[in-house]
């Protein structure tokens, strides 16, 4: 569920950020550049975060921090359009914190014979978030005529992704056979 909510937020950002940045007067090229910044930071940082996850464990914490960071930045972005590049790059930092942890969870949580199923659930969750997030965010944009409520929806999606991770932590704390993620 955290992956679904995170993708609903991030894909909505990628979908609507170019138009959002063009509206106050940025060029189409610059707006597209701002929209792509989250991926730049993630490309560079994700392998480093993967190493940290291997050393620290607590994958649930990486996902929770990633979701809350992205949610906070999306919430603040409409109020600070002159700092869009910094916000977009920062979203990429939190994305890099979250993604490696999400993809390592099935191996950690499921028996080996079910890891393929776990990755299938991740794929399904991605598809749901990618499909529903932009639909909801775009509907809000159409209904209000501006992006304020759209960004609030994106922020809410990301922030709600923390809840499943807190529930996972709680469940891991009750399970005696857990590993490093306690």
Nearest to 126 by CA among 9, 42, 15: 9
Tell me the average pLDDT of the chain: 89
- Is the residue at 181 inside a domain? no
What pLDDT band is residue 177 in, cutting at 50, 70 and 90?
Answer: low
What residue numbers bound the domain in which 123 lies?
Answer: 2-173
What was the pLDDT predicted at 65? Answer: 95
- Is the residue at 14 inside a domain? yes
pLDDT digits (tens, 9 = 90+) for 97-154: 999 999 988 888 889 899 899 999 999 999 999 999 999 999 999 999 988 999 999 9
CA distance linking residue 159 with residue 63, whole number of Å: 11
DSSP string, 130-173: HHHHHHHHHHHHHHHSSSHHHHHHHHHHHHHTHHHHHHHHHHHH
- Is the residue at 180 inside a domain? no
Query: Crossing angle, helix 59-76 and helix 28-56, to 10 degrees?
Result: 160
Q: Which of 44-53, 77-86, 150-159 has the lowest mean pLDDT?
A: 77-86
The CATH number given to whatever domain includes residue 16 is 1.20.1250.20
Q: Which of 21-35, 68-82, 148-162, 165-179 has the lowest mean pLDDT?
A: 165-179
What was the pLDDT predicted at 181? Answer: 45
Count of domains observed in the chain: 1
Nearest to 97 by CA among 1, 10, 24, 8: 10
């Amino acid at each position: 569920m955290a992956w679904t909510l995170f993708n609903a937020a991030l894909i909505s950002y990628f979908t609507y950020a170019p138009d959002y940045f063009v509206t106050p007067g940025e060029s189409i090229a610059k707006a597209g550049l701002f929209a792509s910044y989250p991926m730049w930071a993630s490309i560079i940082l994700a392998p480093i975060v993967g190493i940290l996850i291997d050393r620290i464990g607590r994958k649930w914490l990486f996902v929770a921090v990633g979701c809350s960071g992205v949610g906070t930045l999306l919430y603040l972005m409409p109020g600070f359009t002159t700092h869009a590049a910094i916000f977009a790059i920062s979203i990429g930092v939190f994305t890099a914190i979250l993604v490696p942890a999400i993809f390592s969870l099935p191996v950690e949580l499921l028996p080996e014979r079910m890891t393929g199923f776990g990755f299938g659930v991740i794929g399904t969750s991605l598809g749901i978030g990618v499909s529903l997030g932009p639909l909801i965010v775009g509907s809000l944009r159409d209904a209000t005529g501006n992006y304020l409520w759209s960004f609030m929806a994106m922020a809410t999606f990301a922030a709600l992704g923390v809840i499943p991770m807190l529930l996972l932590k709680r469940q891991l704390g009750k399970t005696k056979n857990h590993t490093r993620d306690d």
